[in-house]
Amino acid sequence: MPLKRLTNKNIKKIVCVFQLQYINEKSEGFGDFLRGSFYAMQLSKLLDLEFEIDISNHPISKYIENPGKNLDINYDNLEWVMGHNRPPHLRQDPNKFLNIDFANEIIDKLNNYSNSDTYAFFTNAFPIFNTFLDTGREKMKSMLIPNTCMQEYIDTTLNEINLSRNTYATIHIRSGDQYLTNSQAMNVDFINKIKKYINNLIVPNKKYLIISDSNSLKEALKSYPNFYIINRKINHLGGQFLKSQETNGVMNTLLDFYLMSYSNAIFTFTIYSQISGFSQYCAVINKIPFKYIILS
């Protein structure tokens, strides 16, 4: 089946919106949003449409420069268009994949949309092209600039832990949502397993920033002399998990993201079968060398 034509000449722009709730589902996390934004941006290019992201209706908007609410978007009537754009088998081109059925579902929605020239939605689909253009990276970076308050917090934190931009690598350990959302105690055997992986990775005298969804794991890694660790309350940024907007958890999660964006390499360990989008797309946007290990 070929890709359908965009017949709605009124549509000029696709907007990928990050907020806590859509009409059919609560949102997933920031990494899912970034991943889906690259998909939407690449699809918009194929359709010769403009592209933007919109974070104005999410708590992170308090810390990121943004123009505010878009009058062309009804934030109470936005859909999460479900689909992952994943190849059905592993023998696909690793650098390019387009699920025609999923793309055509979105094109149908575009063709039938008549409210304005801007179609807004959420997707967490995987990008079509895994070779990312600098123009796409810069486009995303330009829409995720920390505001003055957030930038001051980043600078203050770097001074506190005695790190300078681009002089350290980041190790991101994704141990599971149960540690991030429920503060579950961590098994000692799991901590020791993480340490074995780390010991095979690190280079003496190189500086490493440690970020993780588990503060107890970060405490257990403080014995490493070349590790730089901030132990502050963080939050999962998805609507499924975000319990409170009143704490500094949202700000601290963005702090992790921006500190990681200033590193010269990113290593991710994750218990999940897929790579952490939080660190992977931070690396993509900022053109940082990236490696990952899926913990078995």
The verdict on 248 and 162 lying in the same domain is yes
Among residues 119, 141, 163, the one where a domain terminates is: 141
The residue segments making up the domain with residue 216 are 148-294
In this predicted model, which residue has the larger pLDDT, 206 or 296? 206
Q: Across residues 18-43, what is the average pLDDT?
A: 96
Return mean pLDDT, the chain: 90
Task: Give residue 214's pLDDT.
Answer: 84
Q: Does the pLDDT at position 31 exceed 80? A: yes
In this predicted model, which residue has the larger pLDDT, 180 or 143? 143
Task: Give residue 1's pLDDT.
Answer: 76
The verdict on 59 and 75 lying in the same domain is yes
CATH number of residue 283's parent domain: 3.40.50
Task: Give residue 93's pLDDT.
Answer: 65
Q: Does the pLDDT at position 146 exceed 90? A: yes
What is the b/e burial string over 228-257, where b = at least 16 CB atoms within 10 angstroms of the residue's CB?
A: bbbeeebbbbbbebbeeeeeebbbbbbbbb
pLDDT range class, residue 190, cuts 50, 70, 90: confident
The verdict on 159 and 130 lying in the same domain is no
DSSP 8-state secondary structure symbol assigned to residue 146: B
Among residues 141, 176, 206, the one where a domain terminates is: 141
Its pTM stands at 0.93
The verdict on 196 and 224 lying in the same domain is yes
Task: Give residue 15's pLDDT.
Answer: 98
The verdict on 186 and 284 lying in the same domain is yes
Report the distance separating Cα 295 and Cα 265, nearest Å. 19
Sheet harboring 118-121: ordered strands across? 50-54, 13-17, 118-121
Among residues 94, 122, 141, the one where a domain terminates is: 141
Report the distance separating Cα 178 and Cα 201, nearest Å. 26
The verdict on 286 and 166 lying in the same domain is yes
3 within domain boundaries: no
Task: Give percent helix, percent strand, percent coil of the chain, each to the nearest 5.
Answer: 35, 15, 50
- pLDDT tens profile 228-287: 999 888 776 776 655 555 568 899 999 999 999 999 999 999 888 888 899 999 999 999
The verdict on 133 and 166 lying in the same domain is no
- pLDDT tens profile 155-174: 999 999 999 999 999 999 98
The verdict on 126 and 162 lying in the same domain is no
Task: Give residue 283's pLDDT.
Answer: 98
The verdict on 80 and 164 lying in the same domain is no
- pLDDT tens profile 65-98: 999 999 999 999 999 999 999 876 655 566 789 9
The verdict on 122 and 182 lying in the same domain is no
Task: Give residue 116's pLDDT.
Answer: 95
7 within domain boundaries: no
Report the distance separating Cα 71 and Cα 158, nearest Å. 38
Q: How many domains does the chain have?
A: 2
Task: Give residue 180's pLDDT.
Answer: 45
The verdict on 112 and 235 lying in the same domain is no
